[in-house]
């Protein structure tokens, strides 16, 4: 079968494991930096371009600072994501705050940080004025309704999504916000997730650019920014094609020249909010085979579980697996690769053809750099793993320690039981 090449060798893994026991999430600094530079190059034609990395994908301050050094901002959707971004030195227009069903303290924090605030609903206009105030620049999120499709089929169903406003609501929001003192406006939309096609962003851009022209004519609002949000995916399977970000950037440029420039809106800045594309391929989950089981199927049990990587259990998502040191061995054994949760869906792979795996082998589960560690949880009392950075010079750095039982029980410190725990 097709293969993916891990960014770490068996020898490198063994060196890290001597310091940090498995399981752990590992990130490739060199790959992250090179990819960020490529994204900036793809959209360099737009003077105001900025990538706002989706913090939800990988909320680690060391990684956020790497992206900050490469010119990226952050996309936040909660109070704690705002706090983390503030601690990393992001402020003002470096922060995009896109939230829904937003608590008061979250909105007030975004306002206090002078972040770009993206309103999800028409009712949030009054909510923002009441709890914080109306900034000079405000974004509004658009939902076109219906289905969103490209030539290669239906991509998603915005009509069933809870996010965004109708076009008429966008116009009303802009009009009311201008009356409240707002001067500059942005449009934001997210119509599909994890697309592996170069056509998605250009198609979305065309929709939003045409919307911007209509709203400007209808309301007189100065639309300065258009945020394409995320949705650009990665090739999780080895036989999938990868997105060509240079082709994507060029496709958006053509739409820009066709629609916005003739309308006198050639100064609009383009923003993106890519989490998956920015980091997923540059992270992996490193885990050790600790058990094998031979019943109706062949099982390999590893020391990681769905608490460390939820996507396969939650979505049935595919993540490629490499057995380090056996990259060139024939994949002639069929396994379910499982974790130790008391749930039968705690499987990283089902009926996967792999080399013969022995207890003690080190497995790399690919493409966990986004929505991997961040979706972890503590079911069965499982503890979240460490995070490690593979530095550009080949050294490694612990960037988040593994949880301990003391962390798990910390919120019980108000009870008499806490003192009886033998930690």
Strand spans (E) along 12-69: 24-28, 50-54
Model pLDDT, residue 177:
98
Question: What is the DSSP secondary structure assignment for residue 224, as one 8-state letter?
Answer: E
Residues 6+ apart with CB under 8 A from 394: 12
Closest Cα to residue 281, out of 372, 351, 158, 162? Answer: 372
- 3-state SS, one letter per residue, for the chain: CCCCCCCCCHHHHHHHHCCCCCCEEEEEHHHHHHHHHHHHHHCCCCCCCEEEEEHHHCCCHHHHHHHHHCCCEEEECCHHHHHHHHHCCCCHHHEEEECCCCCHHHHHHHHHCCCEEEECCCCHHHHHHHHCCCCCEEEEEECCCCCEEECCEEEECHHHCCCCECHHHHHHHHHHHHHCCCCEEEEECCCCCCECCCCHHHHHHHHHHHHHHHHHHHHCCEEEEEECCCCECCCCCCCCCCCCHHHHHHHHHHHHHHHHCCCCCCCCEEEECCCHHHHHHHEEEEEEEEEEEECCCEEEEECCCCCCCCHHHHHCCCCCEEECCCCCCCCCEEEEEECCCCCCCCEEEEEEEECCCCCCCEEEECCCCCCCHHHCCCHHHCCCCEEEEECCCCCEEEEECCCCHHHHCHHHCCCHHHHHCCC
Q: Cβ neighbours of residue 363 under 8 Å, at least 6 residues apart?
A: 286, 287, 288, 289, 302, 321, 322, 323, 324, 337, 357
For residue 160, the model assigns a pLDDT of 73
**pLDDT score of 286:** 98
Q: Tell which residue, 399, 63, 91, 25, has the closest CA to residue 76.
A: 91
| Fold (CATH) for 281-412 | Lyase, Ornithine Decarboxylase; Chain A, domain 1 (2.40.37)
Residue 154 is predicted with a pLDDT of 43
Q: Which residues pair with 232 in a beta bridge?
A: 195
For the chain, which residues make up each domain, given as ranges?
A: 29-279, 281-412
Whole-number pLDDT of residue 403: 97
Give SS3 for 330. Answer: coil
Domain 29-279 grouped into CATH 3.40.50.300: no
Record the pTM: 0.94
Q: Do domains 29-279 and 281-412 have the same CATH topology?
A: no
**What residues of the chain score a pLDDT lower than 70?**
1-2, 146, 148-156, 159
User: For residue 372, which of 57, 31, 85, 20 has the smallest C-alpha distance?
Assistant: 57
In 220-356, alpha helices (H)? 245-255, 276-279, 311-315
Task: Supply the pLDDT for residue 191.
Answer: 81
Tens digit of pLDDT for each residue in 127-181? 999 999 999 999 999 998 767 666 545 455 776 778 899 999 999 999 999 999 9
For residue 2, what pLDDT is reported?
A: 63
């Amino acid at each position: 079968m097709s293969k993916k090449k891990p960014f770490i060798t068996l020898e490198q893994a063994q060196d890290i494991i001597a310091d940090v026991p498995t399981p752990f999430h590992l990130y490739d600094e060199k790959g992250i930096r090179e990819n960020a530079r490529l994204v900036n190059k793809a959209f360099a034609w737009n003077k105001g371009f900025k990538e706002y990395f989706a913090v939800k994908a990988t909320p680690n301050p060391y990684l956020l600072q790497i992206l900050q050094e490469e010119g990226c901002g952050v996309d936040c959707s909660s109070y704690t994501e705002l706090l983390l971004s503030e601690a990393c030195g992001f402020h003002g227009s470096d922060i995009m705050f896109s939230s829904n069903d937003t608590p008061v303290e979250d909105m007030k924090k975004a306002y206090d940080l002078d972040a770009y605030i993206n309103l999800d609903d028409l009712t949030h206009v009054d909510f923002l004025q009441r709890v914080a105030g109306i900034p000079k620049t405000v974004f509004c999120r658009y939902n076109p309704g219906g289905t969103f499709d490209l030539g290669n089929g239906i991509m998603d169903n915005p009509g069933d999504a809870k996010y965004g406003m109708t076009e008429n609501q966008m116009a009303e929001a802009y009009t009311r916000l201008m009356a409240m003192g707002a001067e500059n406006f942005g449009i934001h939309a997210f119509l599909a997730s994890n697309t592996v096609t170069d056509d998605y962003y250009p198609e979305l851009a065309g929709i939003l650019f045409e919307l911007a022209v209509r709203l400007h004519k209808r309301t007189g609002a100065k639309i300065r920014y258009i945020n394409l949000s995320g949705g650009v995916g990665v090739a999780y399977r080895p036989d999938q094609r990868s997105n060509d970000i240079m082709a994507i950037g060029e496709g958006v440029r053509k739409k820009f020249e066709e629609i916005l420039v003739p309308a006198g809106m050639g100064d609009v800045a383009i923003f993106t909010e890519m989490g998956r594309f920015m980091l997923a391929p540059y992270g992996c989950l490193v885990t050790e085979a600790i058990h094998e089981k031979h019943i109706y199927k062949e099982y390999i049990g590893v020391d990681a579980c769905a608490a460390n990587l939820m996507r396969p259990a939650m979505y049935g998502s595919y993540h490629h697996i490499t057995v380090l040191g056996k990259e060139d061995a024939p994949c002639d054994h069929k396994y379910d690769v499982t974790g130790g949760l008391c749930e039968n869906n705690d499987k990283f792979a089902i009926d996967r053809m792999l080399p013969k795996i022995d207890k003690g082998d080190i497995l790399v589960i690919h493409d966990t750099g986004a929505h991997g560690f961040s979706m972890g949880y503590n079911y069965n009392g499982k503890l979240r793993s460490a995070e490690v950075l593979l530095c550009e010079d080949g050294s490694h750095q612990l960037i988040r320690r593994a949880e301990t039982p003391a962390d798990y029980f910390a919120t019980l410190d108000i009870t008499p039981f806490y003192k009886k725990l033998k930690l």
